[in-house]
Structure 1
Amino acid sequence: MKTVNDLFILEGMKEGIVLAGHRGLTRNVQFVNISDTPDVINFLAENHLLLTTGYAFKDDPEKFCELIKQMHELNCSGLVIKINRFFNELPREVKLLADDLAFPIIDLPTKHTLGEVSRHILNYLNDAEAEQLYYALHVQKEFSNMMIKGYSLTALIEQLGHFLSRPTLLLNHRGEKIAHSHDFRMDSMKLVEREIIEKVKEDLPSAREGSTFTVPSKEHQSISTFPVQTKRQHPSMLVIVDSMTLPYPSSQMAIEQAGNVITFTIIKEQAIEENSRLLKNNFFDDLIENRIHSDEEILSRANYYGLNEDLNNICIICTVDQKGQNYEDLQLYEKKAGELYNSIYDQLEDEIVHSELDGILFTKEKYFVMILQYADEADPVEVTEFVNKCQASLQGDYSISFGVSNTVHSIKDITTAYSEACEAIMSGYDMNMLGFINFYKMKELEDLLNTIPEKDLKALYENTLKSLANPKTKENQELVKTIQVYLDSQCEISETSRRLFIHRNTVKYRIEKAEELLNCSFRDPAHSLRIRVALMIGSILKEDE
């Protein structure tokens, strides 16, 4: 956009003299208005430049001052006046006010008519808009050629920063850096980049829609984000420093055209990524169906897709519950179903990244499959928290259920882990559950206990639970029930309280009493396992009776 200062190259304006408000010559100009009427303020708007002889206020400096105040409040561009027509000089109070408000007042020589000067300015402004349009098309053409030639996103962002003469950054939908212009390679700009990314992550929804903000290192410059639509549910973001004052002939149109080409480039890369995802899923399918017969090939392909042969593995599967009116409606719209499954994949991928766990995401038929890897045995509480977080982020119009396997110690045993996770999720459906999280290991342990003679089970049961074995009193029955729910809730007081519909202090009292009676701590893994086994034995003995 042109400023008042830019107009001094035009015929008529060349001889103009700035009478007051020199600091306001950087004000933008979009339109010119000629008037000598007292109510001219009613016909002015932001970035309007007023051309006048001053006749309406030639004998009233106060009225002149009031007009300037009102124009300043509207953020008008300034005032061009033929001062010698009805004034000998600019009134002192008017000059002081204009200087104070940085509102430019320019004297136009009497030999030039207002209409003539207005025509020159309008032609100049219109030509500027046309030039900006042509420049935007030029940018679009240049970027399209770069895309066709296979230039990377880094090269595109570097070129955009060059066209705009502004530091430019491309972030993904999570606010993580994809590419940046060379400006951010300088030591002085590395801090700015970190501050921008932190600011974006503070309010991702606003940044994805397009927002303007400042960071401590660049308080005097605004930083703007522009959405870059992709095949993902949420857009990526183009970040430009000081985009509000782009050097001519750059404009917002140029940014939009470049953004469109960047969108196509990202979509192209996502298509390549989808093809890679298909190959990755084919490997997982081959692994589960035992179609890879060589151990060396299994380890080689697994390592290629990020599975470390030296780590332990847990398999977590999830799927959309195939019940309810929403799911039935979903089946009628193939495109909507595809969008939902893509959205779930993206969100699960985000959860793995944000959790900082070593995990790989696959899909097999209707299941989303996460393989989490641990150097040691997985912490049950950590796994539960991760699955709970995944479910919370996915639950919406459709309920999502999870099945979790035991730990397996070899990549070749992931087949077993997958079978366990499938069995865990199917057992939940067998009990007509929806939106659940089911762990496999409890069922596996029950099968093992059923192979032990009943007298041995009874001895272990009574020795472990002591006075709480075969509880007769209501108090002991409540203690046993509280222990069971507390352990099933991963020793979470609040969750136990919610499930039993009792106050959390009551839960704490009962747990402390039970630990005293049994001389153990439920948070100790060894003690917790022993009590869990004893409670399961109690269920088996009751079934046998």
Structure 2
Amino acid sequence: MKTINDLLILEGMKEGIVLAGHRGLTRNVQSVNISDTPDVIKFLDKNHLLLTTGYAFKDDPEKFCELIQQMHDLNCSGLVIKINRFFNVLPSEVKLLADDLAFPIIDLPTKHTLGELSRHILNYLNDHEAEQLYYALHVQKEFSNMLIKGYSLNALLEQLGHSLSRPALLLNHRGEKIAQSHDFQKESMKKIEQEIIQKVKEDLPTARQGTVFSIPSKEHQSVSTFPVQTKRQYPSMLVISDSLSLPYPSSQMAIEQAGNVISFTIIKEQAIEENSRLLKNNFFADLIEMKIHSDEEIFSRSNYYGLQKDMENVCVVCTIDEQGETYETLQLYEKKVGELHNSVYDQLEDELIDGNLEATLFTKGKYFVMILQFPSYSEIEVEAITKFAANVQANFNGDFSLSFGVSHSVPTLKELSTAYDEAVEAILTGYDQNMKGFIKYYKTRDLKELLNTLPRKDLKALYENALKSLAYPKTKEEQELVKTIQVYLDSQCEFSETARKLFVHRNTVKYRIEKTEELLNCSLRDPADSLRIRVALIIGTILKEDENI
């Protein structure tokens, strides 16, 4: 961008006299405005140069000072005035204020018109911008050729740094270094690189959008970030040192054009990464479906994807909760579903890194599967997993919620199929209980839970076949017999213990058991008969609960 100083070579301007604000001649000029109205400030903007005769303020120096202050606050470039038209001399209070603010006021000779000067300045500015545009297109073409030829990101950054004569750094969406120009390989730049990365990580959302900041080592030198869009939810960042004073004809437009090509290069590398991810997911599918039989092959392929032997392995499964019409509508648009899944994948990957967890991330169908490995598995590791899952849920930016299922730990890689089944079952159990956005650990089902999964007609047939007439006790005596069976079996078939719990005589218990065995045609001391009757009594509680519901 041109400055007031640069304009002093133009016809009219080179004959002008700087009346005040000499220190402000380095102010940038982007456009020109001609006006003699009192409310001209409403039509000005940053880096605007005002051309005027000063007629609106010829009898009011105070209003003139107010305009100078307003233009300075707006960061306008300066003011060119025909001083001899209505003033003869610049009011002293105006001069003092302009000098104090370093706001340039230039006297235009009477023989030149404001319109003529405006035309000269605009032509000059437009030629300057056109040259910057042509240079930006040149940069874009040069970088596109490098992309086609397969140059690496480091090579692109090196070329950009050379073109701009500025150090260049490329960071991913987490603020981690991807590539750099050779400047950052110097020992003197190591500290500066660390300070830049630290500053970016302090406010990632702002840095991703593009911002300007300074670092302790270079307080008087600006550092700028430019967003580089990729297939991820959040953009990567191109970081340029001292980008606000680029050597001509370089411009931020040139940086943006180079950034576009860098964006395409990253997207190409992400496509290669997605292909590798597909191979990794195929391996996981083969592993849990028991299609790999050789221990040696399991260990070698697992090690390739970061899974180690002799570790406690925990499977954590994550899925997006289906939420009525919103999710069903989304399923109609394959691209949107893909973007949503990529967003969740990136979030899980980020949180695993932030949590310093040893884990490998896979996908299988609608599930995101993480195999976490620990030297030992205790409550400390359980808390770490819970914290990780809770952070993912809290930081996930979307209209959907995420749920997690966590398995027991298994000591070998061959048992990962069991761990995966447990984690999925934990997820499904949560959904059976109408839960959303949950973290559920797998719990081994007891006999009652397993029986609850069977069809009710089968349970009823087994119940009636085992207890016969006692299945639906009608008399008080039948009810006492059923209660006695229950307590007798719970007391390990001990008459004395059963009598004590029922508050009856030992012989009474003995009589009731003998009568029950006669009715059911079985021996309660026989293991098979005992098990059958125990199961039947549990089924009875299930059927009773169903009746109550």
Question: When the two structures are superposed, what TM-score results if normalisation uses the length of structure 1?
Answer: 0.73
Matches of 1:2 and 1:44, distance apart in 2: 18
Residues 41/275 of structure 1: CA separation in 2 closer, same or farther (3 Å cut): closer
Contact map agreement 2:208 2:226 (CA 8 A) in 1: yes
CA offset at residue 414 of structure 1? 1.9
Matches of 2:69 and 2:441, distance apart in 1: 72
Residues 442/16 of structure 1: CA separation in 2 closer, same or farther (3 Å cut): same
**Structure 2 unaligned spans of 5+:** 451-486, 493-500, 502-533, 542-549
Once structures 1 and 2 are overlaid, which stretch shifts more, 362-371 or 188-197?
A: 188-197
CA offset at residue 298 of structure 1? 2.0
Matches of 1:323 and 1:68, distance apart in 2: 59
Deviations 1:266-312 (A, max 9, x none): 11111011000001111111222222233222222111111112422
Partner of 1:390: 392
CA offset at residue 343 of structure 1? 1.8
**Structure 1 unaligned spans of 5+:** 449-453, 460-469, 471-538
Partner of 1:499: none
Contact map agreement 2:323 2:400 (CA 8 A) in 1: no
Residues 540/163 of structure 1: CA separation in 2 closer, same or farther (3 Å cut): farther
Matches of 1:309 and 1:369, distance apart in 2: 19
Residues 193/458 of structure 1: CA separation in 2 closer, same or farther (3 Å cut): farther
SS of the residue aligned with 1:269?
Answer: helix
CA offset at residue 23 of structure 1? 0.9
Partner of 2:174: 174
Matches of 2:30 and 2:184, distance apart in 1: 34
Partner of 1:251: 251
Partner of 1:519: none
SS of the residue aligned with 2:217?
Answer: helix
Residues 61/307 of structure 1: CA separation in 2 closer, same or farther (3 Å cut): same
Matches of 1:34 and 1:356, distance apart in 2: 62
Partner of 1:364: 364
Partner of 1:261: 261
Aligned residues with identical type, % of pairs? 74
Q: Which amino acid aligns with 2:419?
A: A
SS of the residue aligned with 2:103?
Answer: coil
SS of the residue aligned with 2:309?
Answer: coil
Matches of 2:535 and 2:348, distance apart in 1: 37
Matches of 1:78 and 1:62, distance apart in 2: 18
Partner of 1:197: 197
CA offset at residue 148 of structure 1? 1.1
Partner of 1:229: 229
RMSD across aligned positions (CA): 3.7
Partner of 2:545: none
Matches of 2:273 and 2:238, distance apart in 1: 21
Within 5 Å, which residues of 2 pair with 1:373-522? 373-378=373-378, 379-394=381-396, 397-431=399-433, 433-443=435-445
Q: Which amino acid aligns with 2:420?
A: Y
Q: Which amino acid aligns with 2:219?
A: E
Contact map agreement 2:49 2:80 (CA 8 A) in 1: yes
Residues 314/35 of structure 1: CA separation in 2 closer, same or farther (3 Å cut): closer
CA offset at residue 393 of structure 1? 4.2
CA offset at residue 365 of structure 1? 2.3
1:287 partnered with 2:287: yes
SS of the residue aligned with 2:426?
Answer: helix
Contact map agreement 1:47 1:75 (CA 8 A) in 2: yes
Once structures 1 and 2 are overlaid, which stretch shifts more, 32-41 or 332-341?
A: 32-41
Deviations 1:405-456 (A, max 9, x none): 22222222222322332333344445555444333354389999xxxxx999
Contact map agreement 1:326 1:398 (CA 8 A) in 2: no
Matches of 2:119 and 2:323, distance apart in 1: 70
Question: When the two structures are superposed, what TM-score results if normalisation uses the length of structure 2?
Answer: 0.73
1:341 partnered with 2:347: no
Partner of 2:517: none
CA offset at residue 66 of structure 1? 5.0
Matches of 2:330 and 2:42, distance apart in 1: 55
Residues 359/456 of structure 1: CA separation in 2 closer, same or farther (3 Å cut): farther
Matches of 1:282 and 1:61, distance apart in 2: 80
Matches of 1:352 and 1:366, distance apart in 2: 19
1:122 partnered with 2:122: yes
Deviations 1:452-496 (A, max 9, x none): xx999979xxxxxxxxxx9xxxxxxxxxxxxxxxxxxxxxxxxxx
Matches of 2:175 and 2:339, distance apart in 1: 22
1:135 partnered with 2:171: no
CA offset at residue 24 of structure 1? 0.2
Partner of 2:28: 28
Once structures 1 and 2 are overlaid, which stretch shifts more, 145-154 or 271-280?
A: 145-154
CA offset at residue 156 of structure 1? 1.9
Q: Which amino acid aligns with 2:176?
A: E
Deviations 1:10-51 (A, max 9, x none): 334334443432210111112334566777666654433344
Matches of 1:445 and 1:183, distance apart in 2: 68
CA offset at residue 371 of structure 1? 0.3
1:78 partnered with 2:78: yes
Matches of 2:23 and 2:396, distance apart in 1: 55
Residues 227/395 of structure 1: CA separation in 2 closer, same or farther (3 Å cut): closer
Contact map agreement 1:458 1:541 (CA 8 A) in 2: no
1:48 partnered with 2:15: no
Matches of 1:540 and 1:386, distance apart in 2: 41
Higher Cα Rg, which structure: 2
